[in-house]
Every structure is written in C-alpha cells, then in structure tokens.
Structure 1
Amino acid sequence: MTVLAEHPVASDPLRTIHDRYRQGLHTYLVKLTFGDVGLAEDLVQETFLRAWRHATGRADLDADTALPWLYTVARRLVVDHLRARRARPPETFMDDLSGVPVVHDPIGMALAEQSLRDALRDLLPEHRDVLVRLYLHGRTPAQVAGRLGIPVGTVKSRSFYARRALRARLEG
C-alpha cells in the first residue's frame, strides 16, 4: 500500500492518478531497478508522495496528462538512488571467512609457539603431561588413563584445569 492510499485528504484526481498508474509505474520501476521489488515499491511510494506534494493547492491537476510526469519523477528517483549508492563505499558482508587468504607470518608463529612453550612450562607437571598426551600425541582420555595408571575422570579433570590455567596464562 502506498503513502497516497493511506492519506486521508488525498484529492479525487490524485486518487484517480494513483489507482490508474500505480501498477504500471511499479512494473516500470522493477525493470529500472533490475528486479529489486522492494526498492521499486519504495520508489513508487516516493513518486506518489512527490505527486501529492506537487498537487497540493493545484486545481489544474489532470489524470490524463500526469503519466509522463510520474515516469520522469520515478526515473529521476532511480538515478538519485544509484548516485547515492556510488557515493557510499560498497557494503561487504562476510559470513564465511574461510575464503579470506591467510597471511603467512613466520615471526608471529614463532612468538606464539614460544608463548605456548612458556605457558606449558608454568603448568603443574601432571597437568602438562595430560595435555601433551591428549593434544600433541592425539590420544583419547581412556588411552592416557591407561598409560598413566589413573582413572579416566582424573584425566578429564586434569585436562580441564590445565586448559583453564593455560588459557589464563596466554590471555594474561
């Protein structure tokens, strides 16, 4: 529904223009906006809003001669919209960052590895041993428990506290 259709004081000639030309104007604007139906509807509303403002206080409004003027206003609105979009930087949305190339940073990697080594050295020996076996050697908690002769729950508990301490050390 357009602004004009909702306006309580829209004059009869303007209502006639709206009823007669709205659908054709909408079809024209869909083509000009390359199929963007939402934008076309917004531009139709803006076109009729301008027609209503232009017609206020005019007695010589004629529904039969309004069509070329409406199409000119609509076309100019599309041009203004395109100019406004070109003036703004393009909008980019990245939901998936896997396509972004990763910059190889050997110095950053070396510093990160050194920080991790230092943080691992600060852990309790039994916590460090569990983390190394689980994450560096790729063992399961059951395998680590069997190798160390401790219950699986103890392996999981040590892993939890070791990761928490490691995270605190690396973030701090």
Structure 2
Amino acid sequence: MNVTAIGSATATSPDERALRDLYLEHGPALYSYVLRLLDGDSYRAEDVIQETLLRCWNKRNLTDSEGMAVRPWMFRVARNLVIDAHRTRMARPQEVSHTSWLGDMCAEVDDIDRMLSSMVLHDALEALTPAHREVLQATFFADRTTQQAADDLGIPRGTVKSRVYYALRSLKAALRERGMELGQVVGR
C-alpha cells in the first residue's frame, strides 16, 4: 500500500475511502510526531506512517467506534513502531553507513604509504652529495625558481639548473635501488 495512493481520488471501496479520509485528517499531525521521534529522518518517518496506516487497514480500525478514538491509537501504534525499530537496531551489530569504513581504511593505508615513501625519500636524499641535496632543498622543497635558488645559494643560475638535473638523476637512481620510482614519491 502506497501512502500517495491513499490520498488519491481513486479509492473505490468504503474501506479505501475511510483510509484515505483517515490519512488526510490525521496524516500530517502523525507525520510531524513521528518525524520528531526519529530526529528528522523523513524516509523512516514515511515508513512508520505507512505501517501505521496498514495496521489500521488490517484491524479495520478506520473510524472512531465503540468509545475508541482512532487518533490516539494511531499515535500509540506509530510510537511503538519507532521503539521496536530502535530496539531491533540496538540488538544487531552497528550498521556501517555507505562505504565510510572503506574510506577510513584507505585513508589509514594512504597515511602509512605516505610515511613509508617519506622515509624512503629521506634515505635516498642522504645518498646524494651535499651540493645536490642543497640545490634540491633550495628549489623543489622550498618551492623557488632556479633564479631565486641561485640568489639564495650565491651561485650562477646555470649551475643551479645543472645541479638540479644531476641531483634528480641521482635521486631517481637512489630510489630505484630502494624499490621505488620518483613518480611514486613525488606524486603523493
């Protein structure tokens, strides 16, 4: 049974008309009540309303009769459905939403990979000559142009370019010896 079908004018039997009238009269107030109980979860609220109306349909409790008002009964049924759903969720292991556990696990792996890459890079840099380490520090790690590095180091710009070229070549070789490529380390 679909709640939207209840509100349509296609209800033909007296029970269907009574259910539609019941929904139109009490549905908005019941929805607001259930929505508050569920902390604003509109999807679950709609499910609870639908289940409440289904129980009205099954019990043929569609109108006030024999001193029993339908509205308080509907609110009690809805409240009990919310409580039952909460107890069911608490009895099961905690649900994992979406793929957050996978993202968390990948983040941890990425952090470990980044740390290991950093250690390998540091070790490879130690294998370079002091002049090559100095020029890489002044250009790549300090994010400076070759001219800025040349001014800072007090050497000609051409010398900086040459040293960067040979330092990168040596660094690639040192990383390869350690089982990594420069792209694996720099790309992170």
Bin for the TM-score computed over the shorter chain: 0.5 to 0.7
> Does the CA-based 8 Å contact 1:130-1:158 persist in structure 2?
no
> Does the CA-based 8 Å contact 2:149-2:160 persist in structure 1?
no
**Which of 66, 71, 79 is matched with 2:70 structurally?**
66
Find the counterpart in structure 1 of residue 181 from structure 2. Answer: 168
| 1:15 and 2:20 matched | yes
Runs of 4+ in 1 over 4 A off after TM superposition: 7-10, 90-93, 111-114, 121-127, 169-172
**Which of 85, 88, 92 is matched with 1:84 structurally?**
88
> Does the CA-based 8 Å contact 1:134-1:144 persist in structure 2?
yes
**Which of 27, 33, 41 is matched with 1:28 structurally?**
33
Find the counterpart in structure 1 of residue 109 from structure 2. Answer: none
> Partners of 2:37 and 2:143 in 1: how far apart?
62
Report sequence identity in percent: 28
Q: 1:131 to 1:74 in 2, by over 3 A?
A: same
Q: 1:151 to 1:70 in 2, by over 3 A?
A: farther
**Which of 142, 149, 155 is matched with 1:148 structurally?**
155
**1:116-135 aligned within 5 A:** 116-121=121-126, 128-134=133-139
Find the counterpart in structure 1 of residue 3 from structure 2. Answer: 4
Q: Per-residue deviation at 1:31?
A: 3.5
Deviates more, 1:66-75 or 1:4-13: 4-13
> Does the CA-based 8 Å contact 1:4-1:49 persist in structure 2?
no
Q: Which runs of 5+ in 2 are unaligned?
A: 105-114
Q: Which runs of 5+ in 1 are unaligned?
A: 98-108
User: If the length of structure 2 is used for normalisation, what is the TM-score?
Assistant: 0.53
> Partners of 1:148 and 1:49 in 2: how far apart?
85
> Partners of 2:53 and 2:160 in 1: how far apart?
72
> Partners of 1:78 and 1:154 in 2: how far apart?
70
Q: Per-residue deviation at 1:125?
A: 7.9
> Does the CA-based 8 Å contact 2:52-2:77 persist in structure 1?
yes
Q: Per-residue deviation at 1:124?
A: 8.3
> Does the CA-based 8 Å contact 1:32-1:78 persist in structure 2?
yes
What are the superposed Cα offsets for residues 20-47 of structure 1, whole Å, 9 maximum, x if unpaired? 111221232234334x152434422332
User: Between Structure 1 and Structure 2, how many residues are aligned?
Assistant: 148
Q: Look up the SS of the partner of 1:148 in the other structure.
A: coil
What amino acid is aligned across from residue 121 of structure 2 in structure 1?
L
> Does the CA-based 8 Å contact 2:34-2:48 persist in structure 1?
yes
